[in-house]
Amino acid sequence: MAQNNNLKGTVENRNDGVLVYIQGGDKDVQQFKADVESGAPPASGIRSVRITEVSKPDFADFRIVSSKSFSDEITLVSPDIAVCSDCLEDMKRQPGRLNHPFVNCTNCGPRFSIIRSLPYDRSKTTMDVFKMCGDCSEEYENVLDRRFHAQPVACLGCGPRYELITCSRTERNFSKILAELIKILEAGGTVAIKGLGGYFLACDAASQAAVSKLRQLKIRENKPFAVMFADLNAIHEYANTTPTEEQLLLSWKRPIVLIRAERSLAPGVSVGFSTIGAMLPYMPLHYLLFEHTGIKALVLTSGNFSDEPILIDDKTALDTFKESCDAVLTHNRIIHNRVDDSVTMVVGRETSVLRRSRGYVPAPVMVDMNVEGIIATGAELVNCFCVGKGNQALLSQHIGDLKNMETYIFYQESLERFIELFRVDPELYVCDLHPEYLSTKYALTKEKKLLQVQHHHAHIASCMAEHALDEKVIGVAFDGAGLGDDGNIWGGEFLISDFASYTRAVHFDYVPMPGGDMATLNPWRMAVSYLYRIYGIDMVWMDLPFLKKTDPAVLKMVLQMIDQNINTPYTSSVGRLFDAVSALTNVCTVSGFHAEAPMRLESVASGDSEAVYKFVLGKTIVVDTMIKGIVKDLITGVSVQDISLKFHNTIGAIILDVVRSLQSLTGINKVVLSGGTFQNRYLIEHTVKRLRSMDFEVYSHRRVPCNDGGIALGQIAIAAKKRESGQW
Ligand code: ZN
Ligand code: ZN
Ligand code: FE
């Protein structure tokens, strides 16, 4: 840009930013300034531009000067970036890169997944084993080249290579690999493919036979599969997308976007859900694949088993998939940091990140406080941790359910890597209140200062930190479960909260959760709990389809557990209320995966009625009349579509009423919505719209998950504020 504007000077990449000296005519300098701001590379972000006039001797030309020594000040690592359009062009034209499946440049390619340490230099990445050829070196050294200092630069001659392994043989010739891969997929086969941040399982998304085979491979899994479409046109054959959704699908982050399906792919893909987890190609291989086949949509699901992390080790992947898949497509670029695909959705016109991984991590979340040296260990089920560096909260990639051994190993390893990579000197650990969370136990093993934070306070603080809200707010925290101060399981909470403290203003009335975790796995137990509370023992004779499915002996046992208070904690959880209604309406009585029952209940809601059930607001929120209303509707044959919608509207109405009464009590006008329940698109859209129409300032999550994946940000913010005020 400097050269285009006839300017002289230098540019230097420093750890506190980019320093440019510019010498030339006023007009040219102005133009340069405009160019920098408008023409920044897509994956870059300009946080601020500061201009100062200084006197300098005349520069002879414009050049890039080498980076100043590295300090601990600020350390940024780029997330992985989808292949750019220039590189796709090069794949068509540039000798040495024709159909090159590892093409990349300074604007695109692998980053976080291959970085071992800083400063970011080829020798510190898993590209260190590939010796750059003469042609690549020339590009790498040339200031004017798009590959100037592109660390993973490679070509057909010097870069990594793919291998296709089948039972009988190994193919190393890339064009033959491509041809064979396509043959297998077109014939309805399944393939394990090594991607950017892990292994994925792929098959034709239009072939039910192929999808079933893939489902068998991923035993115990009945979650919807993500689908990679060839392009936007291919998506439009199945779904209408909004401009915001398209922007997100096409962004360099290339996340999975949950869109509403108009037409379904093979039934096994979405397993009854009305949405598709859609994404577009992000690796050169994906483009090459679609270019040479009639297949327009591929299932591309993480290569793992139920709750285990996505596989990255080549040997394990080969051992695991060689027999069960028709082929394993691997390559010899090592994945150092595992990053699964990110999951997002568009709410209104805003993006909301539900699983923050590839493309997003490890970009920092900037916060308005000093979080240096604080390590937040997160929650348990959908864990992400967070390490603090200056005013950057460095949230980890999606880790998963820590109760799984492999996942817990991944957690510890990643946490240690983050601390080392970002040169953090841990001073304080902050964790959840729950003594049994492995993340709590982990924090306890560290002989450092420790703070335990209530789960729902952390949820609200997470959303506050994201929006730089340092004041008292009305916090609405709805989720599945979190340990409360009183030892009960919370999850339907209205808090008056700031970072330092909170009061629990109103909550859903406690109901028994017979069997604890067993109640979570069996939503029908929650339905029974609500019915028993309302109708007593008469409930067993009720003419409800879901009851007919339950074993009378087990039902009797469940009622005894409630009566005698055996292994029956009390909960105010809205997640469990969704479970209860999902089971009561016979939509989902047994949960096959986390939050299946609420998700299925949301999925069946339809219509545009604004009707609500009755409920009672007192010291607690009592929904007995709503449950009675639902029972009445079920018996009189009202459709589950209508019942579900009316239930959703009722939860929305409860939020509205409680928030209004809290506002009149406290004068607070800012409402913060957080917790996994707000992944429910209907609920969040409906609630935000209604609250805004009543002039509330409403804040919900955008860049950080509203589910427990966002907890660590709240923990770190609370700890930072307590430290700042000397409370800790
Ligand atoms: Zn590129
Ligand atoms: Zn080369
Ligand atoms: Fe939670």
DSSP assignment string, 44-70: -------------PPPSSEEEEPPPPP
Distance from Cα 130 to the centre of ligand 2, integer Å: 9
Percent of the chain topping pLDDT 90: 90
Radius of gyration of the chain (CA): 27
The answer to whether 676 and 649 are in contact (CB under 8 A) is no
Confirm if 725 and 446 have CB atoms less than 8 A apart: no
Question: From ligand 2's centre to the CA of 153, what distance in Å?
Answer: 7
Residue showing tokens 């006839």 = 6
- Interval 411-433: pLDDT, tens: 999 999 999 999 999 999 999 99
pLDDT in tens, 634-650: 999 999 999 999 999 99
Q: What band does 44 get if pLDDT is binned at 50, 70 and 90?
A: confident
Q: If you measure from the C-alpha of residue 82 to the centroid of ligand 1, how many angstroms do you get, rounded to a whole number?
A: 8
Please report which ligand is nearest the Cα atom of 97.
Answer: 2
Instruction: Provide the pLDDT for residue 230.
Output: 98
Between the CA of 149 and the centroid of ligand 2 the distance, in Å, is: 14
CA distance 111 to 109: 7
- CA of 139, nearest ligand number: 2
Position 220 scores a pLDDT of 58
Structure tokens at 370: 């000093």
* Confidence category of residue 222, pLDDT binned at 50, 70, 90: confident
For residue 494, report the distance from its CA to the centre of ligand 3, in Å. Answer: 14
- Residue with tokens 């940024």, as numbered in its chain: 76
Q: How far apart are CA 78 and CA 111, in angstroms?
A: 6
Q: How confident is the model at residue 76 (pLDDT cuts 50, 70, 90)?
A: confident
Q: Are 506 and 621 in contact (CB under 8 A)?
A: yes
361-386 average pLDDT score: 97
Instruction: Report helix, strand or coil for 253.
Output: coil
Give the phi and the psi of residue 347 in degrees, each rounded to 5.
-115, 120
Distance 129 CA to ligand 2 centre (A): 13
For residue 386, what are the β-bridge partners?
376, 395
Which pLDDT score is estimated for 6?
Answer: 93
Q: Which two tokens stand for residue 398?
A: 């999606």
Percent of the chain at pLDDT above 70?
Answer: 98
For residue 105, the cross-strand partners are 108
What's the CA-to-centroid distance between 222 and ligand 1, angstroms?
37
What ligand is nearest to the CA atom of residue 380?
3
Q: What is the pLDDT of residue 635?
A: 96
Q: What is the mean pLDDT of residues 28-46?
A: 89
Residues 657-704: tens digit of each pLDDT:
999 999 999 999 999 999 999 999 999 999 999 999 999 999 999 999
Which residues have CB atoms below 5 A from the ion given as ligand 2? 133, 136, 155, 157-158
**How much distance in Å is there from the Cα of 279 to the middle of ligand 3?**
27
Which ligand is in closest contact with the Cα of 283?
1
Phi and psi of 600, rounded to 5°? -70, -35
- The Å distance, Cα 491 to ligand 3 centre, comes to 7
Which bound ligand lies closest to the C-alpha atom of 90? Answer: 1
Kindly state the average pLDDT of the residues 558-567: 97
pLDDT confidence band for 490 (50 / 70 / 90): very high
Tell me: pLDDT of 276 over 80.
yes
Q: Is the pLDDT score of 239 beyond 90?
A: yes
Please tell me the number of the ligand nearest to residue 490's CA. Answer: 3
Q: Which residue has the higher pLDDT, 4 or 283?
A: 283
Q: Which ligand is nearest to the CA of 594?
A: 3
- Please determine, for residue 74, whether its predicted confidence score (pLDDT) is greater than 70: no
- For residue 43, what are the contacts with CB-CB under 8 A and spacing of at least 6? 78, 79, 81, 107, 108, 252
Q: Look at residue 547 and tell me whether its pLDDT is greater than 70.
A: yes
**Banded model confidence at residue 72, pLDDT cuts 50, 70, 90:** low
Q: How many angstroms does the Cα of residue 378 sit away from the middle of ligand 3?
A: 10
pLDDT of residue 75: 64
Q: What mean pLDDT comes out for the span 305-328? A: 93
- Flag whether pLDDT at 137 surpasses 70: yes
Residue 218 clears pLDDT 90, i.e. is over it: no
Query: What average pLDDT is seen over the chain?
Result: 95
Distance in Å, CA 695 to ligand 2 centroid: 59
Least confident range from 2-16, 113-127, 390-404, 675-689: namely 2-16
The bound ligand whose nearest atom lies closest to the alpha carbon of 706 is 3
Q: How far is the CA of 243 from the centre of ligand 3 (A)?
A: 31
Which ligand ends up closest to the CA of 96?
Answer: 2
Percent helix / strand / coil, the chain, rounded to 5: 35, 20, 45
Using pLDDT thresholds of 50, 70 and 90, give the confidence band for residue 285. very high
Distance (angstroms) between ligand 1 centre and the Cα of 100 equals 12
pLDDT band (50, 70, 90) for residue 409: very high
Q: Which listed ligand is nearest to 86 at the C-alpha?
A: 1
Longest alpha-carbon distance in the chain: 93
Strands 162-165 and 327-331: antiparallel
